[in-house]
């Protein structure tokens, strides 16, 4: 987009393919990602520096392209905003607050981990309750999951797992799946999200293998009671504890001050 602004289009990548919002006719056209010869990297491999840089560049391109896309369609009297015209496409679906929904079960399980880990960082027993209240309250995390009414929203990527990135033979990165992100007073909700996802992404290979060794264990970890797995990992795995503490320490400090 940045190299060829005359095209005046932005590609929004979804799991079904690359969806283009075109200036001329506003039609949305889907096509397969095979045309760019992109593949998901081997699930056993870590991303090397080149792929990490390529992924960050892809995020920056998408961020910038969404602003250009809006500016092209805006007038001084009537600014164009993606979240107002593509409501369904950018709706937040990562979290669910509907009881019984699979994403709600995941969120409950991860939140319980943050509650139970708090005892390793603070003697203030009220912190655990503050965490749960913040995650599920309308004025807590839920507020920051909606498009901002104060700041400019941009299409970005808030769920950047390895399987949401595809690379071609020269390491050009294509993002699969997207969300809307906003520049906001975001330190606390960002730490909360990092804490919730940290109960997944910081796991050791041994623990990951255990979690995925059977359907029963996977469901127990993911949806029912993740805390015993995380507490054990925290107490026995120095690398996990040190990495995750970089998120948890400032998180609990902020809740203590609330």
Pairing status of strand 173-175 against strand 9-14: unpaired
**Residue 90: per-residue pLDDT:** 78
Could you tell me the two tokens for 9? 């289009």
Nearest partner of 59 among 152, 156, 154, judged by Cα = 156
- Classify residue 213 as exposed, middle or buried by CB count within 10 Å of its CB (0-12, 13-18, 19+): exposed
Which stretch of DSSP H or E encloses residue 32? none
First-to-final CA distance of the chain: 43
- pTM equals 0.65
What are the average pLDDT values for consecutive 10-residue runs of the chain, which has 258 residues? Answer: 34 36 38 59 72 84 86 91 84 81 92 95 93 91 84 73 77 69 69 91 91 94 94 94 94 92
Determine contact, residues 33/177, Cβ cutoff 8 Å. no
**Residue 244: per-residue pLDDT:** 94
**Residue 183: per-residue pLDDT:** 53
Residues 110, 98: Cα–Cα separation, whole Å: 16
Determine contact, residues 64/52, Cβ cutoff 8 Å. no
Spell out the SS3 assignment of 101-143: CHHHHHHHHHHHHHHHHHHHCCCCCHHHHHHHHHHHCCCCHHH
Residues 222, 156: Cα–Cα separation, whole Å: 26
**Residue 177: per-residue pLDDT:** 63
Which stretch of DSSP H or E encloses residue 232? helix 227-236
- Look at the alpha carbons of 119, 125, 129, 134 in this order and tell me if their dihedral is positive or negative: negative
**Residue 6: per-residue pLDDT:** 33
């Amino acid at each position: 987009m940045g190299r060829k602004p005359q095209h005046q289009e932005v590609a929004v990548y979804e799991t079904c393919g690359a969806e283009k919002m075109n200036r001329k006719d506003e039609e949305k056209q889907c096509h397969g990602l095979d045309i760019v010869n992109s593949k998901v990297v081997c699930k056993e491999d870590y991303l090397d520096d080149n792929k990490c840089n390529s992924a960050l560049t892809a995020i920056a391109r998408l961020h910038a392209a969404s602003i250009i896309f809006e500016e092209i369609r805006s007038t001084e009297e009537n600014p164009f905003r993606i979240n107002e015209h593509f409501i369904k496409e950018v709706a937040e679906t990562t979290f669910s607050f509907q009881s019984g929904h699979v994403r709600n079960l995941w969120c409950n399980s991860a939140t319980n981990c943050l509650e139970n880990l708090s005892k390793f960082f603070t003697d203030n027993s009220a912190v655990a309750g503050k965490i749960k209240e913040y995650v599920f309250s309308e004025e807590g995390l839920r507020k920051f999951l909606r498009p901002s009414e104060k700041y400019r929203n941009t299409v970005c990527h808030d769920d950047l797992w390895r399987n949401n990135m595809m690379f071609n033979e020269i390491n050009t990165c294509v993002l699969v799946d997207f969300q809307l992100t906003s520049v906001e007073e975001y330190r606390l909700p960002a730490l909360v999200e990092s804490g919730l996802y940290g109960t997944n992404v910081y796991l050791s290979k041994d623990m990951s293998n255990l979690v995925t060794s059977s359907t029963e264990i996977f469901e127990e970890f993911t949806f029912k009671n993740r805390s015993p797995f995380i507490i054990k990992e925290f107490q026995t795995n120095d690398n996990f504890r040190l990495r995750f503490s970089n998120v948890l320490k400032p998180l609990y400090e902020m809740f203590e001050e609330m």
